[in-house]
């Protein structure tokens, strides 16, 4: 086989890029699975969570949702402050109060949170919300939020829909 040195180097670089791409894809799949578990946990009622024993992995995921990549605790706003911030975001029109059409979660893209208006750190889980628009030809609107801001927004949205309600997971994170 008579392959020039340049071609051999090029093939080596392509193989290395493909391996790197596969590693990033695998990390993204794991992050998405973790985000789905976090969203599921957020939707459980406070009574269920208080009565259940959370696994160590679930506790770690919750710490990662509000802390750094190392899971260290960081000072976080109180549940009341989070709920007030979510209600203000709804009233200011930064995020809709209606139910989203789709929800995704995964590694942060570095976008600004629609609820608290702070950047979502690369080490945190980001929840992306998609809302359908009224027009047939218009595209859907997307909002990026911290996981904790998502739970606050969901609780505030529930209060608007029902005229009351409770915050589900806010005090447990």
For the chain, domain boundaries? 5-172
Whole-number average pLDDT of the chain = 75
The three-class DSSP label of residue 75 is: coil
Per-residue pLDDT tens for 53-69? 556 666 666 555 555 44
86 closest CA partner among 115, 117, 113: 115
Q: Decide: pTM greater than 0.75.
A: no
122 closest CA partner among 106, 101, 141: 106
**Whether 115 contacts 146, CB under 8 Å:** yes
**Whether 69 contacts 123, CB under 8 Å:** yes
pLDDT at residue 138 greater than cutoff 80: no
Give the pLDDT confidence score for residue 44 in this predicted structure: 63
The whole-number average pLDDT for the span 86-98 is 91
The three-class DSSP label of residue 50 is: helix
Residue 41: phi and psi, rounded to 5, are -60, -40
């Amino acid at each position: 086989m008579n392959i020039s040195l340049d071609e051999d180097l090029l093939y080596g670089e392509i193989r290395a890029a493909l391996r790197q791409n596969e590693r990033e894809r695998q990390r993204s799949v794991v992050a998405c699975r973790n985000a789905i578990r976090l969203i599921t946990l957020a939707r459980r009622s406070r009574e269920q969570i208080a009565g259940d024993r959370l696994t160590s992995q679930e506790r770690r995921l919750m710490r990662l949702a509000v802390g750094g990549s190392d899971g260290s605790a960081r000072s976080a706003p109180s549940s009341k402050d989070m709920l007030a911030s979510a209600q203000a975001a709804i009233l200011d029109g930064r995020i809709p109060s209606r139910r989203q059409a789709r929800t995704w979660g995964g590694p942060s893209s570095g976008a600004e949170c629609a609820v608290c208006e702070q950047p979502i750190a690369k080490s945190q889980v980001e929840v992306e919300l998609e809302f359908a628009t009224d027009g047939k030809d218009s595209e859907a609107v997307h909002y990026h939020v911290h996981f904790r801001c998502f739970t606050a927004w969901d609780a505030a949205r529930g209060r608007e829909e029902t005229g009351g309600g409770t915050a589900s997971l806010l005090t447990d994170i």
